[in-house]
Amino acid sequence: MIRRIGPGSGLVGVLGLLIPLSLLAQEKTVVPPGTPVNITVQPAPSTAPPISIVLGPRHGHVTPERRGCTHTGGGNIDVAQPTPDVLIVTMTGAGVAYGAICPALAAQAFELEQFFELSFDNPKVKKGKLTMEGRVIGLLRSHCAKDSAGYEDACAAIGADSMCLLKLCVPPHSVSGKQSLSVNDHDGPYSVPVTAGKYLLRQTFRVAAMAHPTVLPTKGPSAEFAPDPAIDPLWLSYKEPFHGAVKKDFGFQVVIKVAEDTEPEKPANGEKLPEPTPLKK
C-alpha cells in the first residue's frame, strides 16, 4: 500500500529537525573551574519583643474549707507565659454544700505571690508600659431560701519597692433564695509606665457555698469556677439551670502584658508639648 504524502508534510518534518538544532546552537555560559561563588545570607527578621517578662520565685497556695456534707473540686493556680512579653495567671476552683442537722460550708481560698523582672532586651527602648486586666467566669446556684453561694477577693496588684503600681478587683457576686447566676465579669485594662527592674504580683480569689441546717433532703448550693470535671454531676441538681454550659474558660484570670511605651512625655507642669516644626522643602 502506497501512502501519499502531501506538500505540507515535508515542511513539518524540516521544522521538526530545525527546532532541536536551534536549541543546540544557543550559547552556553561556562564557568571556569576555581571561580569563587558568592552566597549572600540575609538573617531572618527578629520577632522577639523589645521587653520581656522573666519569672522569678513563686508562692501559690489554695486552702480548702469544708464543714458538714460538702464537695470541693479544682483548686488550681496556673501560671502560663505564651510569649516572653505576656503573663497569664488563672485560678480555678468549685464547691458544693449540702445542708444536714448542722450548717455546711464548702470554700476555697487562693493566694499567689509571683516575683518577676522586666528585661529591656532592645537597647533602643528606654521606657515600657505595663498593662493588666482580669475577668471572672463561672456559675452560682442556690436551691433553698437560706442557702447562698458566691465569690469574692478577685483582686490582683503589681508593686515594686513596697509601692503599688497597678491594681484591679473584679466586683464580687453572690446568690441566695433559690437564685442562680451565670457570671462573666471583667475589670481593666489598666496601664502604668515602667522601667527595667524587679516587680511583685499578688493575686487572691475565694469561692464559697453555704447550706443551712435542714431535716429534709435538698440539693445544695454551689459555686462553680473551674472546668469539668471539678464537680461531679451527681452533686448538682437534675434540674440544672445551666445545662450544656461551656466551662473550659471558668475561673479568675489575670493577663499581664509589657510593651514599649511610644507615647510622648508630658511636661511636669501640665503644659502641652510644642508643636513639631515642619521640615523645609
In this predicted structure, the answer to whether residue 205 has a pLDDT above a threshold of 90 is: yes
Q: What are phi and psi of 270, to 5 degrees?
A: 85, 0
Burial class (CB in 10 A: 0-12, 13-18, 19+), 72: buried
Q: Are strands 163-170 and 197-211 parallel, antiparallel or unpaired?
A: unpaired
Q: Where are the domains of the chain?
A: 51-260
Cell numbers representing residue 30 in the block: 561556562
Q: What pLDDT score does 224 carry?
A: 93
Residues 6+ apart with CB under 8 A from 83: 49
pLDDT band at 212 (very low <50, low <70, confident <90, very high): confident
Confidence of residue 22 (pLDDT cuts 50, 70, 90): low
Round to whole Å and give the CA distance between 144 and 141: 10
8-state DSSP, 18: H
Highest average pLDDT, of 140-149, 167-176, 210-219, 230-239, comes from: 167-176
Residue-wise pLDDT tens digits, 144-188: 778 899 999 999 999 988 889 999 999 999 998 889 999 999 998
